[in-house]
């Protein structure tokens, strides 16, 4: 299992992985309260990326990542991610319709 | 495996977290799925229909598994509730005391204690 040490690298690689194969990529989270540990895993059944932590601040970052994945998965991998804001830049499913908030 | 609606799923997830505080883990898996078989999907693709994808969310405590499916319309709402639940339950994670470059989880595992003079 590959444990990534940098959060940003983990995020970037997982998003890449998802975009490359949205149908088989999944994101797993395991939380153990008794040990105070959180482990995240993103895999497409060929490659696997993991991240573990016991820090409360990382939980906040994980929430952002959750949001990213929710958006990607529910709306389609072509959604343009601007992290927190502007998740509605492309519309619904993976069709090439863009609503375009830019002028 | 129990497939639930959004709100019952969230309630069950909450109780799962509460029950696992002393021992055990909670796993939550997120995957994109159209919830249709490959045959149907191929048919839809050839017919030119857009396949609607949903986000499949599964949660388990090792013994019991619950799941739900979230579409693009409810994903905002689910996201918010889900974040609240997680924030409320992930209380045993360490508060940040100092800027650690190393993963403190590794060193803590070996030490077995959280009090370790790491200041250099």
Q: What is the mean pLDDT of residues B66-75?
A: 88
Residues B67-71: contacts with CB within 8 Å, 24+ apart?
B67/B1, B67/B2, B67/B3, B67/B4, B67/B9, B68/B3, B68/B4, B68/B5, B68/B6, B68/B9, B69/B3, B69/B33, B69/B35, B70/A70, B70/A74, B70/B6, B71/A74
Using a CB-CB cut-off of 8 Å, the residues of chain A touching B86 are: 59, 62-63, 66
When CB atoms are compared, the residue of A69, A72, A95 closest to B50 is A95
Q: What is the mean pLDDT of residues B57-67?
A: 92
Q: Is the Cβ–Cβ distance between A69 and B30 less than 8 Å? A: yes
> Given pLDDT bands bounded at 50, 70 and 90, which one contains residue B12?
very high
Across-strand partners of A59?
Answer: none
Question: Would the CB atoms of B32 and A59 count as touching at under 8 Å?
Answer: no
Looking at residue A46, what is its pLDDT?
A: 93
User: Residue A47 and residue A2: Cα distance in Å, rounded?
Assistant: 9
Using a CB-CB cut-off of 8 Å, the residues of chain B touching A94 are: 50, 53
Using a CB-CB cut-off of 8 Å, the residues of chain A touching B60 are: none
Q: What is the mean pLDDT of chain A?
A: 80
Nearest CA in chain A to B27: A30
Q: Which residue has the tokens 């690298």?
A: A9
* Cα B73 from chain centre: 19
Assess A92–B contact: CB distance below 8 Å, yes or no. Answer: yes
**B72-88 pLDDT tens trace:** 888 888 889 999 988 88
- Name the minimum distance, in Å, from the CA of B94 to any CA of chain A: 5
User: Residue A36 and residue B25: Cα distance in Å, rounded?
Assistant: 10
ipTM of the complex: 0.75
Most confident of A84-88, A96-100, B87-91: B87-91
Q: What phi and psi, each to the nearest 5 degrees, are found at residue B73?
A: -75, -40
Q: In which region does residue B91 sit, left (phi positive, over 0), alpha (psi from -120 to 50) or beta (all else)? A: alpha
Q: Give the closest residue to B54 by CA, choosing from B35, B76, B39, B81.
A: B35
Name the percent of chain A lying above pLDDT 70. Answer: 73
Across-strand partners of A7?
Answer: none
User: Whole-structure pTM over 0.90, yes or no?
Assistant: no
């Amino acid at each position: 299992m590959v444990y990534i040490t940098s959060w940003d690298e983990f995020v970037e690689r997982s998003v890449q992985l998802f975009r490359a194969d949205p149908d088989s990529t999944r994101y797993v989270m395991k939380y153990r309260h008794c040990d105070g540990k959180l482990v995240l895993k993103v895999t497409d059944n060929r490659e696997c990326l993991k991240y573990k932590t016991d820090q409360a601040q990382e939980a906040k970052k994980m929430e952002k990542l959750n949001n990213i994945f929710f958006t990607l998965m529910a709306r389609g991998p072509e959604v343009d991610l601007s992290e927190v804001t502007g998740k509605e830049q492309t519309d619904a499913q993976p069709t090439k319709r863009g609503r375009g908030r830019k002028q | 495996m129990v497939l639930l609606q959004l709100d019952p799923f969230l309630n069950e997830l909450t109780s799962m977290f509460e029950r696992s505080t002393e021992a055990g883990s909670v796993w939550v898996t997120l995957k994109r799925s159209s919830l249709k078989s490959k045959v149907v999907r191929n048919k839809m693709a050839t017919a030119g229909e857009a396949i609607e994808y949903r986000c499949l969310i599964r949660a388990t405590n090792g013994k019991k598994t619950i799941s739900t499916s979230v579409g693009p319309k409810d994903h905002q709402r689910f996201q918010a509730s889900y974040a609240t639940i997680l924030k409320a339950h992930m209380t045993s994670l360490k508060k940040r005391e100092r800027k650690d470059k190393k993963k403190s989880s590794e060193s803590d595992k070996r030490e077995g204690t959280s009090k370790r003079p790491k200041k250099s």
